[in-house]
């Protein structure tokens, strides 16, 4: 047993970071907007893509760039995330 007479050291101030489970806001830059994919037939007339993907008719494909990739989750490419966009005019 150890007995210490005195007071405890002062607590360090806690950072105000939001936990990753609560959701983060990550700044990104919009690079390109294009219409949805259409069927792409190769020279043989068959579809060249291996996955059957149908984009919505009124959809748009956005290419965004995140300046600091360290803010993204490590398993971002597993597609287990929902993404919410908030567009702000410059």
- Averaged over successive runs of 10 residues, the pLDDT of the chain (90 residues) comes to 61 56 76 82 65 76 89 85 85
Q: The pTM is what?
A: 0.54
Q: What pLDDT does 39 receive?
A: 65
CA proximity to 31, closest of 56, 66, 2: 66
Planar angle of CA 18, 22, 71, nearest 5 degrees: 60
Q: Which residues pair with 14 in a beta bridge?
A: none
SS3 71: helix
Q: What pLDDT does 68 receive?
A: 87
């Amino acid at each position: 047993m150890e007995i210490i007479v005195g007071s405890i050291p002062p607590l360090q101030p806690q950072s105000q970071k939001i936990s990753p489970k609560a959701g983060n806001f990550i700044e990104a830059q919009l690079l390109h907007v294009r219409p949805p994919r259409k069927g792409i037939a190769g020279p043989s007339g068959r579809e060249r893509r291996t996955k059957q993907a149908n984009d919505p008719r009124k959809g748009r494909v956005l290419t965004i760039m995140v300046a600091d990739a360290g803010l993204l989750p490590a398993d971002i490419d597993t597609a287990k995330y929902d993404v919410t966009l908030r567009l702000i005019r410059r």
